[in-house]
Amino acid sequence: MAEGSARRPRVAFAMREGLRDTVFSATALERLAAVAEVEPGPVLTELESDAARKVLARSEILLTSWGAPLLDAGQLERAPHLRAVVHAAGSVKHHLTPDVWTRGVVVTSAADVNAVPVAEYTLATILLAGKGILAAAAAYRADPEGIHVTDWPTIGNYAKRVGVIGASRIGRLVCDLLRPFGFEVVIADPYLDDGGACALGARLVTLEELFATSDIVTLHAPDLPETRHLVNAERLAAMKDGATFINTARGALVDHDALTRELRSGRVNAVLDVTTPEPLPADSALLALPNALVTPHVAGSLGTELFRLGDAAVEEVERLAAGAPPLRPVTLEDLARQA
């Protein structure tokens, strides 16, 4: 797999039982077979059995996805030919230890590609939130004859401010998707500077300014020790009356007791794709409040969108087989601040 040389690497799948054929279309599998020697046996769901060890011992590329078995120093000892792990999903933190990078194994992830449906979900939510659809639908249901649209002068998607937390892969894509609309975009991220924000069509602000001035706040930071309860009581209390908070990131970033209190006051709205706990108990107030809309962690790739991950992973194998550098490498340095 040296640069410029073309050869057929030996590839094995490692992921949750039954996942391979929902992530890799028949066309993707054909493309893969055209450039690689694909292990014919079952997908690796563990690396301890004799059969799995034999496959690992001859594999040059592992194609992983959700539920892949952990690859640590011990497993790497038994994988002398392994050159790359190509992950057909988002985060690699759950199945790769730093030993993988120390050993010089190339790691690539489809997290950029998984960002697409999350950013689409977010854009759709921002536009519908701007039109006040939760309140409008509730008012209509309560009294179909009593609607006076002139009673809602602050409704609409013109001259509103969207606050994006995190210039992450998803946060950046959200900024891109927002460009054609009439929003002002502000962004908060400790790793971003004014020039970087400007390149995203946004203005860099503090979290305090973002919460206090945005009509819509959308959360896209990773779950790290320093982001736990980043959305706390104080910041929620600072939100404008009628503002909407969107969370497609992780529940751990939000103080849910504080959020529930703020929502109960009726002052703000929320659209939550992720929560703590997840799933919510059936009697959770968040599921019952009229100003909260909760979806069961569906923003990321699902259904047909899974094939986009498989296509991206096969593209990486094609590149590696051709001796080209991967399109979406993950470095150990990046990982410390990534999802």
Ligand X SMILES: NC(=O)c1ccc[n+]([C@@H]2O[C@H](COP(=O)([O-])OP(=O)(O)OC[C@H]3O[C@@H](n4cnc5c(N)ncnc54)[C@H](O)[C@@H]3O)[C@@H](O)[C@H]2O)c1
Minimum separation from the CB atom of position 117 to ligand X (A): 8
- Residue 247 near residue 221 (C-beta atoms within 8 A): no
Between residues 82 and 306, which has the closer beta carbon with respect to ligand X?
A: 306
Torsion over CA: 273, 277, 283, 284 (sign)? negative
Would residue 87 show up in a list of annotated catalytic residues for this protein?
no
- Residue 84 near residue 326 (C-beta atoms within 8 A): yes
Between residues 47 and 170, which has the closer beta carbon with respect to ligand X?
A: 170
| Interaction between residue 223 and ligand X (CB under 6 A) | yes
Q: Where does this chain touch ligand X (CB under 6 A) — which range of 34-42, 186-194, 278-286, 307-315?
A: 186-194
Closest CA to 66 of 45, 39, 38, 97: 45
* Helix (H), strand (E) counts: the chain: 15, 12
Between residues 142 and 332, which has the closer beta carbon with respect to ligand X?
A: 332
| Interaction between residue 92 and ligand X (CB under 6 A) | no
Give the Cα separation of 67 and 241 in Å (integer). 42
- Residue 236 near residue 214 (C-beta atoms within 8 A): no
- Please report, as residue ranges, which positions from 232 to 251 form the binding site for ligand X (by CB under 6 A): 248-250
Size of residue set near ligand X by CB under 6 A = 32
> Which three-class secondary structure state does DSSP give residue 108?
strand
Minimum separation from the CB atom of position 327 to ligand X (A): 15
Given the residues 10, 16, 83, 297, select the one marked as catalytic.
297
Name the CA dihedral angle for 207, 212, 213, 214, rounded to a multiple of 10 degrees.
70
List the one residue from 39, 215, 262, 273 that touches ligand X (CB under 6 A). 273
Give residue number: closest CB to ligand X.
Answer: 300
Give the Cα separation of 84 and 61 in Å (integer). 5
Would residue 337 show up in a list of annotated catalytic residues for this protein?
no
| Interaction between residue 163 and ligand X (CB under 6 A) | no
Would residue 103 show up in a list of annotated catalytic residues for this protein?
no
Kindly write out the interface string for residues 188-217 of this chain, putting x where it contacts ligand X by CB under 6 A and - elsewhere.
-xxx--------------------------
Minimum separation from the CB atom of position 146 to ligand X (A): 36
Give 127's Cβ-side CA count (13 Å radius).
12
DSSP letter at 41 equals S
Kindly write out the interface string for residues 287-316 of this chain, putting x where it contacts ligand X by CB under 6 A and - elsewhere.
----------x-xx----------------
**Other beta carbons less than 10 A from residue 64's beta carbon:** 26
Beta bridge partners of 219: 165, 247
Q: Which two tokens stand for residue 76?
A: 């790497």
Between residues 44 and 200, which has the closer beta carbon with respect to ligand X?
A: 200
**Other beta carbons less than 10 A from residue 289's beta carbon:** 17
Q: Which amino acid is at 286?
A: L
List the one residue from 90, 132, 163, 251 that touches ligand X (CB under 6 A). 90
Name the CA dihedral angle for 114, 117, 118, 119, rounded to a multiple of 10 degrees.
110
Minimum separation from the CB atom of position 276 to ligand X (A): 12
Give 169's Cβ-side CA count (13 Å radius).
21
| Interaction between residue 168 and ligand X (CB under 6 A) | yes
List the one residue from 59, 64, 75, 114 that touches ligand X (CB under 6 A). 114
Between residues 151 and 226, which has the closer beta carbon with respect to ligand X?
A: 226
Given the residues 31, 95, 235, 250, select the one marked as catalytic.
250
Please give the residue ranges that form the binding site for ligand X (CB under 6 A).
90, 111, 114-115, 118, 165-170, 189-191, 220-224, 226-227, 248-250, 273-274, 297, 299-300, 337-339
| Catalytic residue numbers, as ranges | 250, 278, 297
